[in-house]
Amino acid sequence: MAETSSALRAAWQRHERRWADNLYVYAVVSRRSRGVSVGVNVNPGKECNFDCLYCQVDRAVAPRIRRVDLDRLAAELDDVLRAAADGSLFE
């Protein structure tokens, strides 16, 4: 139980867009909703044509055109949802 508590505490403190070896799908413990949030990042290389004031995209580097691998995204989403359902998400 102590390991789970420490893993959950770490998940609560960090909101990285990483989970396992996934490229697109990640999970975090949401501070606002106090539950698990599953995110889908379709812009992992930060190639974006918007110019939002709050964005972390480095505009000094020219964006690369890249297609999203939908099969990989779907498999990653299945893995994250399965791990959330069986309780192994943050082990």
Q: What is the pLDDT of residues 64-83, one digit of tens each?
A: 667 889 999 999 999 999 99
55 belongs to a structural domain: yes
Which structural domain range is residue 54 located in?
Answer: 2-85
Q: How many structural domains does the chain have? A: 1
Angle at 78 between CA 75 and CA 81, to 5 degrees: 150
91 belongs to a structural domain: no
Q: How far apart are CA 50 and CA 77, in angstroms?
A: 26
Q: How far apart are CA 60 and CA 70, in angstroms?
A: 28
Q: Quick check: 89 and 29 in contact, CB under 8 A?
A: no
Regions of the chain with pLDDT less than 50: 1-2
90 belongs to a structural domain: no
51 belongs to a structural domain: yes
